[in-house]
Amino acid sequence: MQSYTIGQAARLLGVSPDTARRWADAGRVATHRDDSGRRLIDGRDLAAFSIEVAQGAHAEEDAPYTSARNAFPGIVTAVKLGDVAAQVEIQAGPHRLVSLLTREAVEDLGLEVGMQATARVKSTSVHIDRT
C-alpha cells in the first residue's frame, strides 16, 4: 500500500503542510515513521480522512468555490468493479469526482483505494490518469 508524506497529503487534501501536520499531531489522521524518521500516512487512512475533510468543508458556509480548470489531482477513495464496468471515486481537495469506466481500464491502471490519481473532466466525461 502506498504511503504519503505530510507534504504530499497536504497537496492532495488542498491544505498547507502546516495544517496537515497539525491534523496529524491532533490525531485526526494516523501516521507512522519510515526508516529515515519521516512521518507517513497510509493511503487507505488518507483516503478515508479526505472524505471526512471534504464533508466538513461542505458544512462551512465560508467554503471557497473555485474552478480548478479540468484537472483534479487527488486520491482514490473507492473502486467498485462490475463484470464489465467499474466506478472510481476520487477526492480532490473538497471535490468528489466519480467516473464510470471499463473494468479493464481500472485493472490496466492498477487503481485501488489510497493511490494518487488525476481526474480530467471534459464536458460530461471524466478521464482518470494514474499519477
Question: Residues near 6 by Cβ (< 8 Å), separated by ≥ 6?
Answer: 17, 20, 21, 24, 31, 39, 41
pLDDT in tens, 3-59: 999 999 999 998 889 999 999 999 999 999 999 999 999 999 999 999 988 877 655
pLDDT above 90 (res 1):
no
pTM strictly above 0.85: no
Q: What is the pLDDT of residue 65?
A: 43
Cα separation, 92 vs 10, whole angstroms: 11
pLDDT digits (tens, 9 = 90+) for 51-103: 988 877 655 555 444 444 578 889 999 999 999 999 999 999 888 999 999 99
> CA nearest 90: which of 110, 109, 117?
117
